Amino acid sequence: GQQLNQSPQSMFIQEGEDVSMNCTSSSIFNTWLWYKQDPGEGPVLLIALYKAGELTSNGRLTAQFGITRKDSFLNISASIPSDVGIYFCAGRRIQGAQKLVFGQGTRLTINP
């Protein structure tokens, strides 16, 4: 079963607002990833994090690898309608291994 606790499960915001979501675990992970999934599609990789404390941006998205290596957060600034979707965190315990553990996802809904 799932081993990553992702919150919140859903968010309803106004266009232009900033968004924050996070993922926590009781275990240490060597890699944290953030994906976005649109209806009828597979997850799309947004950001990859490899070092504790690392802060990485991809346009309006910013993610951080927690210093304890047990958590990560994703921020979206100035949300726009195309940000709607489900965001998943994923972690990898062993460097180089391909097995990913996923969070349950955060469903983002934006009111124009």
Partner 1 sequence: KAGVTQTPRYLIKTRGQQVTLSCSPISGHRSVSWYQQTPGQGLQFLFEYFSETQRNKGNFPGRFSGRQFSNSRSEMNVSTLELGDSALYLCASSQPGQGATSYYNEQFFGPGTRLTVL
Q: Which two tokens stand for residue 32?
A: 């944290």
Residue with smaller CB distance to partner 1, 79 or 106 = 106
The full length of the chain comes to 112
Among 18, 20, 27, 44, binds partner 1 (CB under 8 A): 44
Is 64 a binding residue for partner 1 by CB under 8 A? The answer is no
Is 2 a binding residue for partner 1 by CB under 8 A? The answer is yes
108/101 Cα distance (integer angstroms): 21
The helix or strand, by DSSP H or E, that contains position 48, with its residue range, turns out to be strand 44-49
CB 86, CB 107: distance < 8 Å: yes
Is 14 a binding residue for partner 1 by CB under 8 A? The answer is no
Burial label, 85 (beta-carbon count in 10 A; 0-12, 13-18, 19+): buried
Among 12, 26, 59, 99, binds partner 1 (CB under 8 A): 99
CB of 15 to partner 1, least distance (A): 27
Q: Which positions touch partner 1 (CB under 8 A)?
A: 1-2, 31, 33, 35, 40-45, 47-48, 50-51, 88, 90, 95-105
